[in-house]
Chain A
Amino acid sequence: MSNGTSMGSGKMRIRGLVRKEFLQIVRDPSSIAIAFLMPIVLLLLFGYGVSLDSEHVPVAIVVEQPGADTADFTAAFHQSRYFNPVMYANTRDAEQAMMAGSVNAIVVLRQDFAKQLRDPDGAPIQLIVNGVDANSARLVSGYVQGAWGTWLEHYAQLRGQKFEAPVQMEQRVWFNSELRSRNFLVPGLVALIMTLIGALLTAMVMAREWERGTMEALMVTPLSMSEVIVGKLLPYFVLGMGGLALSVSMALFLFDVPLRGSMWVLIATSALFLIAALGMGLLISTIARSQFVAGQLALIITFLPAFLLSGFIFDIGSMPPVVQFITHIVAARYYIAILQTVFLAGNDWSVIVPNALALVVMATLFLGVTWRKSRKRLE
């Protein structure tokens, strides 16, 4: 075989592999499901179903002696979008409702509420919060305090008095001013979807070749192992970028998530992450030669960390130091930092550049190890 023909047929071989891969993707319902159906389901689920905000929290309000002041106070709860107040005449009924789970908090206004309100010491109100879910308990207790403060201010103004608090807080929320959790969940989902396509799907289709004995037949052709790797990388890269296009358009047009940075930065960094994810998928397939093992490994090594340890839902800063340290080997962590910045803040290079560099390192590492580990041998 002369040098010229072998170079030409290298292109031919990769073309053959890529064409085969696309035919298989189109004909295999499970590939389609992972590449297109799963992203849509996840986006709809997280976009519409999952919300980390507490709105319309059912709250029991116990007014022991109704009057003008108490009516005014409870009206403040009725008007708020954060609460669904339910009125009770005594504490015992309210406590039962809390036991039954139909309310998450109880606000008690005592008999002498109206009288004490005019005392210099002020009127105490009692707040009982269901603390089983610590996160929402904290939110609810914060909301109640806020509602209470606002009402008090309003009450003072109404009487021409000046409400004096020693410190005044001027609050402004940056980047996600409406505090919609959808705005940071949906960009984070892009990372999960790319992990599914890049790592899970790729590891599974490689394992399928081993399982069905086609890898053995491929190996006894003039294919080199790097051609096998490129032949898998190219199609799934295209598929992953398709998944990106799908998720980004759903984020922008369906969920109205703002894109404040540039689309090009988004595409370029996504491509980087996708290469890292493909590298992980191929690396898994050098160890796992059955689809079951490959699927399990990909879920445990790539998908779950991308879900739990990437800052997608749980803030990395508030994790214990050991876990924080572990998050550094999760590629999705860097990508999610970039995604949330590009979507909500803009082209902030001080975030984008170091995280993108980390992705370059990870992509090189995974692909490099795969390259070294794959030999054209069955052992």
Chain B
Amino acid sequence: MTAASLAAYSPDQIALEVSGVSKTFHVGTRLVPALQQVGFRVRHGLVTGLVGPDAAGKTTLMRLAAGLLVPDAGSITVLGMDATTQSLAVQGAIGYMPQRFGLYEDLTVQENLDLYADLQGVPESARAERYRELMHMAGLEQFTKRLAGQLSGGMKQKLGLACALVRQPSLLLLDEPTVGVDPLSRRELWDIVYRLVREQGTSVLLSTAYLDEAERCDEVVLLHEGRLLAQGTPVELRATMQGRTYEISGNNLEKRVLLAKLTHVPGVLDGLIQGDHLRVVMEDTTPPDLEILLPGVSGMAMKPVPPRFEDSFVAMIKSKSGGKKFSSPIPAGKIVPGIAQTYPGKPVIEVNNLQRRFGDFYAVNNVTFSVAKGEVFGLLGANGAGKSTTFRMLCGLLPPSGGTLRVAGADLRHAAATARERIGYMSQKFSLYGNLSVIENLKFFSSVYGLSGKRGTGRISWAMDEFELGNIADFTSGDLSLGYKQRLALACALMHEPEILFLDEPTSGVDPLARREFWARINALAAQGVTVMVTTHFMEEAEYCDRIAIMAAGEILTMGTPGSIKQQTRTEKMPAPTMEDAFVALILAHEEATA
């Protein structure tokens, strides 16, 4: 269904109408187009998802709808009012939760509620009842006296939502409410949103960068790079992908090598690793032949699987960019096969009974694991589960309170500096210098790692070739697109040819194509024997790992291959759990056991 066919709805069915909206920002001397000719409608009584990767224009659209920005062209009508000329009236009628929830961290839960009730003009007489209702819904009844700053991420998110709902609005705008929140809290938020819609008839516009969340919406508005890609129900948007998605499984072969081969076969639109399987999306519905897909590989099986929302998103952006495929940088000769299955030799990372105390609080307790050379190992957990603390200890940035820790053969208690020379680190927040050019950043990082003379220039030209940065060498890093920034950050982290690469949520919020490209590089590195350690609460990143450990409250709940972990949580009701299902089930079981 397109925006045009939605015109059939009568005006009183429309909560929000965006037509022909463009918005450009001035950043320094440059013009950055955030939205170009975007038009769509949000219907009453439904949950509409504004879905797109980072920098798609979601937040700009939310702010335009809330009357906080003025569009350069086009108009926005909110509940029958113009968002630009009647912004005060619009703001009095909607509920709005900005990205960081808009809470005062030095106020208690109750004081935050009181403030927003005062601002929204909720009569004193109605408050007690409304507060009780909201606190019950948010599960915060016992925490009303706690400072908002001391709540967990998930609790903050629910308090933010309660504050936006304190005077029951007819339209609720939620700007990326699930970002940085663990999967369990995400599910709870979705439950609350649907209860609002079903019981109170609220209309909801919710933005998200997680494509899997699109499937939870009644309707989806798909944005990419400031343009509208599509609008419709998830089923409609998925329908075109019917009969084009397959799962390939087998044994005894390196999945990364297979994937690299697969993506070069004509007729294959997309391929990715799903734990122990490969997932393939074909360009059309012609049934593929395994012999053509993977010639000469035996013992493989292929079965059709239902399409997912991400498949259609990838298909849409690929068709827009003219079917351009990302380069898959696996050099054929350099592959070390079978690492994931056999883990030969001594482990590169060895952690035994690791502990880290802050006062009386154990941020990490009794954590034991080891990672083999060339393995991709993931640490999964909600905020506060102890991932980052473990990570910092592994990088030698934080001394452990107990236990042993060996990284690349060096005991981190005594030889942190030696170990750090062998470690590369990259986070999604790109610790690059935004006002330096690409080449200046590369030069800086090569000098930081003490690469001088021939070796330094050699590594810089390697980075320029390998990451195709040559024609943007003089661009200012801060102005690059997210995908290029990511390449540059990875190039900088690999400058000194580290044996171990630490990745901190490397592709959260990045568009699916850039994410595939990134992981293709990581896969190639792992195949060359680089050990990769990932922390994330982003389930899709977990699928790329050979093994993962799920952490909660400082301890490891379970550890194994993505497939085996999913297998653990398989029940009659849930015959094919996703990584997220498995995660939620494990956390819930742990909470029940400890309660």
Partner of B121, one of A9, A24, A212, A213: A9
Q: Among the listed B101, B121, B164, which residue makes an inter-chain contact with A12, where contact means beta carbons less than 8 Å apart?
A: B121
Selected from A6, A12, A13, A28, the residue in CB contact (under 8 A) with B106 is A28
A16: interface (CB < 8 Å)? yes
Chain A nearest Cβ from B172, distance in angstroms: 11
- The answer to whether B103 has its CB under 8 Å from any CB of chain A is yes
Bound: A134/B120 CA distance, A: 63
Q: Which of B65-73, B130-138, B199-207, B479-487 lines the interface with chain A?
A: B65-73
A23 on interface, CB distance cutoff 8 Å: yes
Please encode chain B, from 153 to 165, with 1 for each CB lying within 8 Å of some chain A CB and 0 for all others. 0000000000110
- What does the 1/0 interface line of B86-112 toward A look like (CB < 8 Å)? 011001101011111111111100010
Per the bound structure, the CA–CA distance linking A82 and B97 in Å amounts to 69
B163 contact set on A, CB distance < 8 A: 217
Contact B94 A220 (CB under 8 A): yes
Contact A12 B97, CB 8 Å, known A23-B111, A378-B63, A379-B70: no
Q: B residues within 8 A CB of A377?
A: 68-70
A27 to B87 Cα, complex, angstroms: 34
In angstroms, Cα B92 to Cα A371, docked, is 21
Q: How far is the CB of B146 from chain A (nearest CB, A)?
A: 13
The docked-state distance in angstroms from the alpha carbon of A17 to that of B14 is 34
Whether B70 pairs with A220 at a CB distance below 8 angstroms is: no
State whether A15 touches B118 (Cβ < 8 A). yes
Interchain CA distance A214-B100 in the complex, whole Å: 8
Is A222 part of the binding interface, using a Cβ–Cβ cutoff of 8 Å? yes
Contact A221 B87 (CB under 8 A): no
**CB-CB < 8 A to B103: which residues of A?**
214, 217
Secondary structure call for the A interface: helix
Name the distance in Å between B44's Cβ and chain A's nearest Cβ: 20
Total interface residues in chain A, CB < 8 Å: 31
CB distance from B157 to the nearest CB of A (A): 13
- Residues from chain A with a CB closer than 8 A to the CB of B87 are 376
Bin the interface of chain B by size.
35 or more
Query: A12 contacts B102, CB within 8 Å?
Result: no
- Whether a CB of chain A sits under 8 angstroms from the CB of B119 is yes
Contacts of B118 in A (CB 8 A): 12-13, 15-17, 19
Q: Is the CB of B88 within 8 A of A220?
A: no
Let me know if B116 is at the binding interface, CB within 8 A: yes
Residue of A nearest to B120 (CB): A221
Whether the Cβ atoms of A217 and B88 lie closer than 8 Å is no
A213-B99, A216-B98, A376-B88 as given contacts; A222 in contact with B120, CB under 8 Å: yes
Query: Taking the nearest CB of chain B, how far is it from the CB of A155, in angstroms?
Result: 72
CA distance A216 to B94 in the complex (A): 14
Which chain B positions have C-beta within 8 A of A224?
Answer: 88
> In the assembled complex, which residues on chain B have CB atoms less than 8 Å from the CB atom of A27?
106-107
| A229-272 residues at the B interface, CB under 8 angstroms | none
Q: Most B CB atoms within 10 A — which of A216, A217, A223?
A: A217
Contact A216 B68 (CB under 8 A): yes
- A5 contacts B by Cβ under 8 Å: yes
Chain B residues whose CB sits within 8 angstroms of the CB of A221 once the complex forms: 91-92, 116, 119-120
Q: Which residue of A lies closest to B164 (CB)?
A: A217
User: A20 interface residue, CB < 8 Å from B?
Assistant: yes
Inter-subunit contact B104/A24 (CB<8 Å)? yes
- A223 touching B69 by the CB < 8 A rule? no
Q: Is A219 part of the contact surface with B, judged by Cβ < 8 Å?
A: yes
| Interface status of A218 (Cβ within 8 A of chain B) | yes
Are B106 and A378 closer than 8 Å at their CB atoms? no
Q: Answer yes or no: B417 CB below 8 A from chain A CBs.
A: no
Pair A213/B107 contact, Cβ less than 8 Å: no
Q: Is B213 interfacial (CB 8 A cutoff)?
A: no
Is B448 interfacial (CB 8 A cutoff)? no
Interface presence of B290 (CB below 8 A): no
Cα A12 to Cα B123 with chains together (Å):
9
Q: Is the CB of B100 within 8 A of A212?
A: yes
Name the residue of chain A whose CB is nearest to the CB of B166. Answer: A221
Q: B114 at the A/B interface (Cβ < 8 Å)?
A: yes
Closest beta carbon of chain A to B387's beta carbon, Å: 25
Give Cα A6 to B121, complex, Å: 8
Which residues from A are CB-within-8-Å of B115? Answer: 16-17, 19-20
Are B107 and A223 in contact (CB-based, < 8 A)? Answer: no
CA distance A220 to B163 in the complex (A): 12
With A and B bound together, what is the CA distance between A243 and B88 in angstroms?
Answer: 36
The answer to whether B66 touches A220 (Cβ under 8 A) is yes
Shortest Cβ distance from residue B492 to the other chain A in the assembled complex, whole angstroms: 26
Cα of A15 to Cα of B495 in the assembled complex, Å: 57
Q: How far is the CA of A222 from the CA of B63 in the complex (A)?
A: 15
- Cβ-based interface call for A1 (8 A): yes
Distance A286 CA – B106 CA, assembled complex (angstroms) = 23
Closest to B121 in A: A9
Residues of B within 8 A of A24 (CB): 104, 106-107
Q: How far is the CA of A379 from the CA of B106 in the complex (A)?
A: 27
Task: Report how far A238 CA is from B106 CA in the complex, Å.
Answer: 20
* Least CB distance, A23 to chain B, in whole angstroms: 6
| Residue of chain B at shortest CB distance from A12 | B118
Question: Which one of A1, A5, A223, A378 contacts B119 once the chains associate, using CB atoms below 8 Å?
Answer: A223
Are the C-beta atoms of B105 and A212 separated by less than 8 Å? yes
Contact A378 B68 (CB under 8 A): yes
In the assembled complex, which residues on chain B have CB atoms less than 8 Å from the CB atom of A217?
A: 96-98, 101-103, 163-164
CB distance from A50 to the nearest CB of B (A): 36
Chain B residue nearest to A211 in the complex (CB): B100
A216 / chain B contacts, CB cutoff of 8 Å? 63, 68, 98, 102
Return A221 CB to nearest CB of chain B, in Å.
4
Q: How far apart are A214's CB and chain B's nearest CB, in angstroms?
A: 5
B104 closest partner in A (C-beta): A214
Q: Are B111 and A20 in contact (CB under 8 A)?
A: yes
With CB as the reference atom, state the residue of chain A lying closest to B84.
A377
- By a CB distance below 8 angstroms, the chain B residues around A1 are 92
User: Residues of B contacting A13 with CB < 8 Å?
Assistant: 118-119, 121
How distant is A235 from chain B, measured CB to nearest CB, in Å? 14
Report the Cα distance A50→B96, complex, angstroms.
54
Task: Tell me if B69 and A379 are in contact (CB < 8 A).
Answer: yes
Contacts of B101 in A (CB 8 A): 213, 217
Min C-beta distance of B470 to chain A, whole Å: 36
- For residue B430, give the distance in angstroms from its CB to the closest CB of chain A: 20
The residue on A at minimum CB distance from B111 is A23
Contacts of B114 in A (CB 8 A): 16, 19
0/1 interface trace, chain A 309-327, chain B, CB 8 Å (1 if under): 0000000000000000000
Q: A81 CA to B95 CA in the complex, in Å?
A: 73
Q: How far is the CA of A216 from the CA of B88 in the complex (A)?
A: 14
In the bound complex, residues from chain B placing their C-beta under 8 Å from that of A23 are 106-107, 111
Nearest residue (CB) in B for A10 is B121
User: A214–B117 Cα gap in the complex (Å)?
Assistant: 15
CA distance A12 to B94 in the complex (A): 19
What is the chain A residue whose CB lies nearest that of B114? Answer: A16
B98 touches A213 (CB 8 A): yes
Using a CB-CB cutoff of 8 Å, which residues 93-140 of chain A contact chain B? Answer: none
Could you write out 8 A-B pairs with CB less than 8 Å apart? A19-B118, A212-B105, A213-B99, A213-B101, A220-B68, A220-B173, A222-B119, A378-B63
Knowing that A213-B98, A216-B98, A221-B91 touch, tell me 14 more A-B residue pairs with CB under 8 angstroms. Answer: A12-B118, A16-B114, A17-B118, A212-B100, A214-B102, A214-B103, A216-B63, A217-B97, A217-B164, A220-B68, A221-B120, A222-B120, A223-B119, A376-B87
Q: 4 tightest CB-CB pairs across the interface, nearest first?
A: A217-B102, A16-B118, A9-B121, A220-B96
Question: Chain A interface (Cβ within 8 Å of chain B)?
Answer: 1, 5-6, 9, 12-13, 15-17, 19-20, 23-24, 27-28, 212-214, 216-224, 376-379
